[in-house]
């Protein structure tokens, strides 16, 4: 059976991303459906060929119909959802091809038909009636794109280099220049039944064409042999890539307007600003962050043209469904790295962004449009620093970052050879608020109790702490596993990450490219070590919501039943000072993340335990060591204190067990 590429590569990989990954010996052992899955997996191997979850593939395969015993043509086409790289047979719908083609008769009976009509959307509901062999996989809206192209194999990709041509002002002329008559330009049209008919027309009128550019959107190409189709896809992308590369010369994006901050400075700015920013973008729903600081991203955010291009937004429908109509560009001068001035710029930017989003919704909405969705940006561009993407989980925010990375590549190419044109606002709205997209969102599984939460577990390398990790992950949390024994924390994190899987999306610089869990070494009795670990957690996920301390130490009395001073000191350090330091550093971080009112509630503390109160006292009464000692009376030294700092957005509770 096919084995999918281990991981998706992207612009960070300097290998030739368009090399053939086809293995004849492997393919020879496969049946036609397995070969389709194999082709799909290797096409999905690199984000520059197609984005995570983007694109689809098909094969028209003749088989014996179990109903009649006669030969029949079956369209195997990637269904709704899933990703090409990891697709299995379960991701492919199988439909009686002739029945799908016959749907045209039904469609043409509608007097009011055409792109974006209810008649066109209604065809999606007809595909299940054409199912072959009781296959339960739901067909995607792209099904007719594959059915109506009269070739056995079809690949539809979202390659960065080709979308650069598809979003260029001179797209049709550039297509002719790059491809001659091999690839035909088609204007933007929302995917659906009409686009299928349009592609049928292209094939009829251009019998020698091998593919078409879908304006603003991507590439579709075809062949009667599957390997030939795969190699053609790579070749067409390569022709676009080489065309763009040959035009590299002067600086992209109008050159640098500002310089990137040194890496350590970028990190300092992020640690100071991210928890605060996360609080701001989570006003409607809590979000998890992914930070991108790769060279290409920095080149873009630092450039003269970034504000203009950012305002235009992304183009490929897959991209903008995640990145929203546009990112928020922070018009900030990074020189000196003044975080307060960045916050001021971001605060004003967020207000403007939300107003713009409401205006976009009001201007474009239709009588039956779904209600306005979250109006905070999902991508924030910070000159000198990089890009911050937001999502409901780590995996989702990585996807958003991946898609804006792709969009930067698209804009770079388009601007090199022409001028970048974004998708028309109304067209973008009609995708974003499409009733079929809304139905897809409604079919999403309900969120888990700890989705959108970042939980830090101290003492996670063994025992209760380690046991807790799986439970937290299972309930949806993003988890930072910390232990004094760094190796055990990293091992616990890696083991569980393997179990839950990396999720989707190829993006994130350094620790921000993490999965749902990351393991770190830190001694909680060392304030500097704790501060470093919390900083790592912030760069990884954007902030911290809950802290659990399970680390503890039980001193053994000697033969006389006495505990030596050294043992006492150790027990006190681990059981009392450690949790205090974690909570103390955490509260400082919370100060950045919370609104002032919430912070006051945290301090005033209905139900607030000793450690939090000690922090309050320290901060406001300066009563010092006496209070610190009162945080955990000496009588508790034989009992491991477990400190639970519950969500700062609700009540803060510290419990000792
Ligand atoms: Zn597409």
Interval between CA 245 and ligand 1 midpoint (Å):
24
> What pLDDT is stored for residue 591 in this prediction?
56
Interval between CA 537 and ligand 1 midpoint (Å):
35
Alpha helix locations (H) across 287-392?
A: 295-301, 306-312, 317-323, 339-364
Bridge partners of residue 645, in order along the sequence:
547
168 in Cβ contact with 420 (< 8 Å) = yes
Interval between CA 284 and ligand 1 midpoint (Å):
30
Q: How far apart are CA 200 and CA 144, in angstroms?
A: 10
Bridge partners of residue 153, in order along the sequence:
59, 223
Q: Which residues neighbour 445 within 8 Å (Cβ) at sequence distance 6 or greater? A: none
Bridge partners of residue 548, in order along the sequence:
457, 644
Ramachandran region, residue 376 (left: φ > 0; alpha: ψ -120 to 50; beta: rest): beta
Three-state DSSP at 56 gives strand
Q: Which of 470-479, 526-535, 644-653 has the lowest mean pLDDT?
A: 644-653
98 in Cβ contact with 73 (< 8 Å) = yes
pLDDT tens for 102-152 read: 999 999 999 999 999 999 999 999 999 999 999 999 999 999 999 999 999
Tokens read off for 79? 């269904």
Interval between CA 222 and ligand 1 midpoint (Å):
15
Interval between CA 196 and ligand 1 midpoint (Å):
12
Q: How far apart are CA 252 and CA 246, in angstroms?
A: 13
Interval between CA 88 and ligand 1 midpoint (Å):
19
> How many other CB atoms sit within 10 Å of the CB of residue 322?
24
Q: Which of 381-395, 490-504, 524-538, 596-610 has the lowest mean pLDDT?
A: 596-610
Q: How far apart are CA 153 and CA 225, in angstroms?
A: 7
Interval between CA 413 and ligand 1 midpoint (Å):
19
Say if residue 377's pLDDT is above 80.
yes
Q: How far apart are CA 590 and CA 598, in angstroms?
A: 10
Interval between CA 156 and ligand 1 midpoint (Å):
7
The CA radius of gyration of the chain, in Å to the nearest whole number, is: 28
Residue position matching structure tokens 């991701």:
91
Interval between CA 316 and ligand 1 midpoint (Å):
7
Interval between CA 142 and ligand 1 midpoint (Å):
7
> What pLDDT is stored for residue 584 in this prediction?
83
> How many other CB atoms sit within 10 Å of the CB of residue 40?
29
Interval between CA 75 and ligand 1 midpoint (Å):
18
Say if residue 489's pLDDT is above 50.
yes
Residue position matching structure tokens 């290797």:
42
Interval between CA 561 and ligand 1 midpoint (Å):
73
Interval between CA 54 and ligand 1 midpoint (Å):
6
Interval between CA 220 and ligand 1 midpoint (Å):
9
Q: How far apart are CA 411 and CA 283, in angstroms?
A: 31
Residue position matching structure tokens 């962050």:
289
Interval between CA 24 and ligand 1 midpoint (Å):
28
Q: How far apart are CA 520 and CA 486, in angstroms?
A: 6
> What pLDDT is stored for residue 624 in this prediction?
37
Say if residue 458's pLDDT is above 80.
yes
Interval between CA 51 and ligand 1 midpoint (Å):
10
Q: Which of 208-212, 412-416, 437-441 has the lowest mean pLDDT?
A: 437-441
User: Predicted ipTM?
Assistant: 1.00
Q: Which residues neighbour 400 within 8 Å (Cβ) at sequence distance 6 or greater? A: 290, 322, 323, 378, 379, 389, 390, 391, 505
> What pLDDT is stored for residue 593 in this prediction?
53
CATH of 454-645, one of 1.10.10.60, 3.40.50.2000, 3.40.50.720, 3.40.50.300: 3.40.50.720
Task: Give which of 589, 595, 581, 598 is closest to 538, Cα–Cα.
Answer: 589
Interval between CA 185 and ligand 1 midpoint (Å):
15
Say if residue 79's pLDDT is above 80.
yes
Interval between CA 547 and ligand 1 midpoint (Å):
42
Interval between CA 475 and ligand 1 midpoint (Å):
33
Residue 129 exposed, middle or buried by CB count within 10 Å (0-12, 13-18, 19+): exposed
φ/ψ of 69, rounded to 5, equals: 80, -5
CATH of 263-442, one of 3.30.70, 3.30.160, 1.10.287, 3.40.225: 3.40.225
Interval between CA 366 and ligand 1 midpoint (Å):
24
Interval between CA 56 and ligand 1 midpoint (Å):
7
Interval between CA 518 and ligand 1 midpoint (Å):
33
> What pLDDT is stored for residue 1 in this prediction?
54
Residue 627: its H or E element = helix 625-630
> What pLDDT is stored for residue 562 in this prediction?
84
Interval between CA 318 and ligand 1 midpoint (Å):
7
Interval between CA 624 and ligand 1 midpoint (Å):
62
Interval between CA 239 and ligand 1 midpoint (Å):
20
> What pLDDT is stored for residue 2 in this prediction?
54
Interval between CA 160 and ligand 1 midpoint (Å):
12
Please, what's the b/e burial string for 400-420 (b: 16 or more CB within 10 A of its CB; e: otherwise)?
Answer: bbbbbbbbbbbbbbbbbbbeb
Interval between CA 107 and ligand 1 midpoint (Å):
22
Say if residue 654's pLDDT is above 50.
no
Compute the average pLDDT of residues 565-583.
88
Interval between CA 198 and ligand 1 midpoint (Å):
15
Interval between CA 187 and ligand 1 midpoint (Å):
14
Interval between CA 638 and ligand 1 midpoint (Å):
62
Three-state DSSP at 424 gives coil
Task: Give which of 605, 588, 619, 586 is closest to 650, Cα–Cα.
Answer: 605
Interval between CA 89 and ligand 1 midpoint (Å):
20
Task: Give which of 179, 155, 151 is closest to 166, Cα–Cα.
Answer: 179
Interval between CA 464 and ligand 1 midpoint (Å):
47
Task: Give which of 110, 179, 106, 187 is closest to 144, Cα–Cα.
Answer: 106
pLDDT-derived band of residue 15, with 50, 70 and 90 as boundaries? confident
Residue position matching structure tokens 């993407």:
389
Interval between CA 140 and ligand 1 midpoint (Å):
11
Interval between CA 497 and ligand 1 midpoint (Å):
30
Residue position matching structure tokens 């979250």:
374
Compute the average pLDDT of residues 562-585.
87
Interval between CA 485 and ligand 1 midpoint (Å):
47
Strand order in the sheet with 211-214: 92-96, 71-78, 56-64, 153-157, 218-223, 211-214, 183-186
Interval between CA 432 and ligand 1 midpoint (Å):
14
129 in Cβ contact with 107 (< 8 Å) = no
Tokens read off for 82? 């899933």
> How many other CB atoms sit within 10 Å of the CB of residue 636?
15
pLDDT tens for 304-363 read: 999 999 999 998 888 888 899 999 999 999 998 899 999 999 999 999 999 999 999 999
Bridge partners of residue 527, in order along the sequence:
none
Share of the chain above pLDDT 70, in %: 89
pLDDT tens for 586-644 read: 766 665 554 444 433 333 332 233 333 333 333 343 333 333 333 322 222 222 333 33
> What pLDDT is stored for residue 284 in this prediction?
86
Tokens read off for 433? 């608020």
The conformation of residue 577, written as its DSSP 8-state character, comes to: I
Bridge partners of residue 220, in order along the sequence:
156, 212
φ/ψ of 543, rounded to 5, equals: 170, -175
C-alpha count within 13 angstroms, C-beta hemisphere, residue 195:
25
Interval between CA 214 and ligand 1 midpoint (Å):
8
Task: Give the residue, 565 or 260, on which the prediction is more confident.
Answer: 260
Say if residue 465's pLDDT is above 70.
yes
Tokens read off for 607? 């139900």
Tell me which architecture the domain covering 24-246 has in CATH. Answer: 3-Layer(aba) Sandwich (3.40)
Interval between CA 601 and ligand 1 midpoint (Å):
48
Three-state DSSP at 479 gives strand
Q: How far apart are CA 407 and CA 379, in angstroms?
A: 12
Tokens read off for 172? 């049709």
Torsion of CA 490, 493, 498, 501, to 10 degrees: -130
φ/ψ of 650, rounded to 5, equals: -110, -145
The conformation of residue 382, written as its DSSP 8-state character, comes to: E
> What pLDDT is stored for residue 644 in this prediction?
35
Interval between CA 313 and ligand 1 midpoint (Å):
17
103 in Cβ contact with 147 (< 8 Å) = no
pLDDT-derived band of residue 236, with 50, 70 and 90 as boundaries? very high
Spell out the long-range contacts of 198-205 with Cβ–Cβ below 8 A and sequence spacing 24 or more. 199/145, 199/148, 199/149, 200/148, 200/149, 200/150, 203/149, 203/150, 203/151
178 in Cβ contact with 239 (< 8 Å) = yes
Interval between CA 622 and ligand 1 midpoint (Å):
61
Q: How far apart are CA 154 and CA 230, in angstroms?
A: 9
- Within the chain, all domains assigned CATH 3.40.225.10 are found at 24-246
Interval between CA 144 and ligand 1 midpoint (Å):
12
Interval between CA 219 and ligand 1 midpoint (Å):
8
505 in Cβ contact with 402 (< 8 Å) = yes
Task: Give the residue, 583 or 173, on which the prediction is more confident.
Answer: 173
């Amino acid at each position: 059976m096919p084995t999918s590429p281990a991981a998706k590569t992207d612009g960070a990989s300097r290998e030739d991303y368009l090399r053939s990954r086809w293995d004849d010996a492997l393919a020879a052992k496969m049946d036609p459906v397995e070969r389709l899955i194999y082709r799909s997996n290797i096409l999905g191997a690199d984000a520059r060929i197609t984005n995570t979850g983007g694109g689809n593939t098909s094969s028209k395969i003749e088989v014996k119909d179990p109903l009649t015993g006669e030969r029949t043509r079956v369209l195997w086409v990637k269904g709704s959802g899933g990703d090409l790289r990891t697709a299995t047979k379960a991701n492919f719908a199988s439909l009686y091809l002739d029945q799908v083609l016959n749907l045209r008769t039904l469609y043409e009976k509608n007097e009011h038909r055409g792109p974006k009509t209810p008649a066109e959307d209604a065809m999606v509901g007809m595909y299940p009636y054409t199912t072959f062999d009781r296959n339960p996989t739901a067909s995607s809206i792209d099904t007719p794109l594959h059915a109506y192209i009269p070739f056995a194999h079809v690949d539809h990709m979202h390659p960065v280099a080709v979308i650069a041509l598809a979003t260029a002002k001179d797209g049709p002329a550039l297509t002719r220049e790059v491809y001659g008559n091999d690839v035909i330009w088609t204007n933007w049209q929302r995917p659906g039944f009409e686009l299928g008919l349009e592609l049928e027309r292209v094939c009829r009128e251009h019998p020698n064409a091998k593919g078409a550019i879908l304006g603003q959107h991507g590439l579709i190409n075809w062949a009667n042999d599957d390997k030939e189709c795969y190699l053609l896809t790579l070749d067409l992308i390569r022709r676009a890539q080489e065309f763009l590369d040959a035009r590299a010369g002067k600086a992209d994006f109008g050159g640098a307007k500002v310089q990137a901050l040194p890496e350590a400075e970028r990190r300092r700015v992020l640690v100071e600003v991210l928890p605060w920013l996360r609080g701001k973008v989570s006003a409607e729903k809590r979000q998890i962050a992914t930070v991108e600081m790769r060279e290409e991203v920095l080149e873009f955010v630092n450039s003269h043209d970034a504000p203009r291009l950012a305002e235009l937004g992304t183009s490929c429908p897959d991209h903008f469904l995640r990145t929203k109509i546009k990112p928020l560009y922070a018009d900030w001068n990074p020189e000196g790295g003044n975080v307060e001035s960045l916050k001021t710029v971001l605060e004003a930017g967020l207000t403007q962004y939300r107003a713009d989003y409401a205006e976009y919704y009001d201007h474009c909405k239709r009588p039956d449009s779904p209600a306005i969705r979250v109006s905070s940006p999902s991508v924030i561009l910070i000159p000198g620093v990089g890009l911050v993407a937001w999502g409901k989980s780590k995996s989702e925010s990585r996807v958003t970052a991946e898609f804006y990375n792709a969009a930067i590549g698209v804009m770079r190419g388009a601007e090199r050879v022409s001028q970048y044109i974004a998708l028309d606002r109304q067209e973008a709205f009609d995708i974003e608020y499409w009733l079929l997209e809304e139905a897809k969102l409604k079919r999403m599984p309900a969120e888990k109790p700890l989705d959108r939460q970042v939980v830090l577990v101290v003492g996670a390398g063994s025992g209760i702490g380690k046991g807790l990790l799986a439970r937290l992950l299972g309930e949806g949390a993003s988890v930072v596993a910390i232990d004094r024994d760094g190796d055990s924390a990293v091992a616990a994190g890696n083991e569980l990450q393997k179990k839950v899987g990396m999720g989707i999306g190829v993006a994130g610089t350094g620790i921000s490219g993490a999965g749902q869990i990351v393991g770190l070494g830190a001694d909680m009795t060392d304030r500097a070590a704790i501060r470093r670990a919390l900083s790592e957690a912030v760069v990884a996920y954007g902030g911290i919501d809950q802290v659990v301390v399970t680390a503890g130490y039980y001193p053994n009395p000697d033969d006389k039943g006495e505990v030596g001073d050294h043992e006492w000191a150790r027990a006190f350090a681990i059981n009392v000072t450690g949790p205090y330091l974690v909570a103390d550093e955490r509260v400082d971080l919370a100060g950045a993340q919370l609104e002032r009112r919430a912070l006051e509630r945290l301090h005033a503390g209905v139900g607030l335990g000793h450690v939090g109160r000690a922090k309050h006292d320290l901060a406001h009464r300066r009563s010092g060591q006496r209070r610190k000692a009162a945080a955990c009376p000496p009588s508790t030294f034989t009992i491991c204190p477990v400190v639970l700092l519950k969500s700062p957005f609700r009540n803060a509770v510290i419990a000792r067990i």
